[in-house]
């Protein structure tokens, strides 16, 4: 089955190199320097954003501290960092599900006031509806967006085909494996054709083969649809496999520790030597960060 799926993935991708976009320079190594920021308004812009949660009677827990982050239109941005550093919180802010304590969250230059179909979050728990079929789940977001029925039916068919679940369209989600449910969630999000896809460790629970296929699929869909992706993962190699740019957050409270422009040709694979080498140097920074925070706490 895996072979059959592999064959359906086109060998070549539309060429989308990070150096095609403004604000990014090309270098020989995997990590390139970020040069002057693009003059266009960023798709997403977190300006000096901090967020603290009410923790207990004794005070508040600082989750994010003065985050400055711009995501350009069409960019594939990956965010990595230790567990608890605020990665999910950052995505929730972009999705309009949380409000920052201070600073600004801007979508195309306008403040984010709440959730919107232009920014779709795919999170670990998926949020699929058990009372709807696979097709019903994929259709749901489009219904909410007011997409007419014939178009909804066409897109359900199209996106289920893309994630290789056409033959399961009448199944209910409890009848599917974890990987298949993840693909339903991906199809549902993609079918609404959001401007920004916010993905919170979406493939963390999948077996290696399914994850590899979904990497290929996601990369191809991103290239074809020219959408903007913000992808959170604790897996640095996955971030290098997918991202135009990788942002490393510090241990709690999350701050931007470093940004890396990944200037490797696409399509990439997790096993590529360059991917492994680039991930290795980012991982070193991540380890330093974790050691430093452990020392500070001991
Ligand atoms: P990550 O996704 O990087 O693991 P999170 O964004 O989930 O981190 O959480 C960052 C910090 O904020 C953690 O210490 C977590 O316990 C805390 N936190 C997250 N959500 C809430 C909440 N709703 N209320 C209180 N604390 C929270
Ligand atoms: Mg998280």
Contact call for residues 65 and 255 (beta carbons, < 8 A): yes
Question: Of all atoms in ligand 1, which is nearest to the CA of residue 234?
Answer: 3
CA distance 241 to 227: 17
* Residue ranges making up the domain that contains 207: 2-6+16-41+72-99+110-118+194-297
- 54 falls within a domain: no
Walk along the chain (298 residues) and give the pLDDT tens digit of each residue. 333 333 333 334 444 444 444 333 333 346 664 544 555 899 999 999 999 998 877 788 899 999 999 999 999 999 999 888 999 999 999 999 999 999 999 999 999 999 988 888 887 666 789 999 999 999 988 888 889 999 999 999 998 988 889 999 999 989 998 888 888 988 888 888 889 999 999 888 778 887 888 898 889 888 887 889 999 998 999 999 999 999 999 988 899 999 999 999 998 999 999 999 999 999 999 998 888 777 766 6
The pLDDT of residue 292: 74
Query: C-alpha 107: how far from its chain's center?
Result: 16
Nearest CA to ligand 1 atom 24: 53
**Domain harbouring 33, CATH code:** 3.40.50.300
Q: How many domains does the chain have?
A: 1
- 84 alpha carbon, closest ligand: 1
Residue 84 Cβ inside 6 Å of ligand 1? The answer reads: yes
- Is 212 within the bounds of a domain? yes
Q: Which two tokens stand for residue 179?
A: 């990987």
pLDDT at res. 120: 84
Residue 242 resides in a domain: yes
pLDDT at res. 31: 67
Nearest atom, ligand 1, residue 201 CA = 2
The reply to whether ligand 1 has any atom less than 6 angstroms from the CB of 86 is yes
For 45, counting Cβ atoms within 10 Å of its Cβ (0-12 exposed, 13-18 middle, 19+ buried), the class is: buried
pLDDT at 32: 61
Residue 147 within any structural domain of the chain: no
DSSP annotation of 98: S
Dihedral sign for Cα 159, 17, 93, 200, please. Answer: positive
Does some domain include residue 51?
Answer: no
Instruction: Output the CA–CA distances (angstroms, integers) from residue 173 to 2, 39, 163, 180, 290, in the order listed.
Output: 21, 44, 15, 9, 38
CA distances from 45 to 1, 90, 108, 111, 200 (A): 42, 11, 8, 9, 18
Q: Is the CB of 82 under 6 A from ligand 1?
A: no
Which atom of ligand 1 is closest in space to residue 81's alpha carbon?
3
The bridge status of strand 245-249 relative to strand 76-80 is parallel
pLDDT score of 2: 34
Taking the C-alpha atoms of residue 13 and residue 183, their distance in angstroms, rounded to an integer, is: 20
For residue 204, being part of any structural domain is answered with yes
Closest Cα to atom 4, ligand 1: which residue?
Answer: 84
Flag whether the pTM goes above 0.85.
no
Q: Is residue 188 part of a domain?
A: no
- Asked whether residue 86 is domain-assigned, the answer is yes
Distance 251 CA to ligand 1 centre (A): 12
* Cβ–ligand 1 contact at 257 (below 6 Å): no
């Amino acid at each position: 089955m895996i072979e059959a799926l592999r064959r359906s993935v086109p060998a070549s991708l539309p060429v989308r190199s990070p150096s095609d976009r403004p604000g990014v320079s090309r270098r020989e190594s995997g990590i390139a320097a970020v040069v002057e920021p693009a003059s266009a308004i960023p798709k997403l812009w977190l300006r000096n954003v901090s967020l603290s949660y009410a923790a207990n009677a004794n005070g508040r827990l600082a989750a994010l501290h003065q985050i400055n982050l711009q995501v350009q239109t069409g960019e594939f941005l990956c965010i990595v960092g230790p567990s608890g550093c605020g990665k999910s919180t950052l995505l929730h802010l972009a999705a309009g599900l949380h409000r920052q304590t201070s600073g600004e969250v801007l979508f195309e230059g306008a403040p984010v006031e709440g959730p919107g179909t232009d920014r779709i979050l795919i999170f670990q728990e998926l949020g699929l509806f058990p009372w709807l079929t696979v097709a019903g789940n994929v259709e749901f977001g489009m219904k909410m967006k007011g997409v007419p029925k014939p178009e909804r039916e066409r897109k359900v068919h199209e996106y289920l085909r893309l994630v290789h679940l056409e033959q399961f369209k009448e199944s209910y989600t409890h009848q599917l494996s974890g990987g298949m449910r993840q693909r339903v969630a991906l199809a549902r999000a993609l079918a609404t054709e959001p401007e920004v896809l916010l993905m919170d460790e979406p493939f963390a629970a999948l077996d290696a083969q399914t994850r590899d296929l979904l990497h290929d699929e996601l990369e191809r869909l991103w290239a074809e649809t020219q959408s903007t992706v913000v992808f959170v993962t604790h897996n640095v190699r996955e971030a290098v496999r997918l991202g135009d740019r990788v942002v490393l957050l510090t241990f709690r409270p999350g701050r931007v520790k470093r940004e890396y422009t990944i200037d490797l040709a696409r399509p990439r694979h997790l096993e590529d030597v360059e991917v492994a080498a680039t991930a290795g140097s980012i991982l070193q920074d991540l380890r330093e960060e974790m050691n430093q925070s452990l020392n500070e706490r001991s």
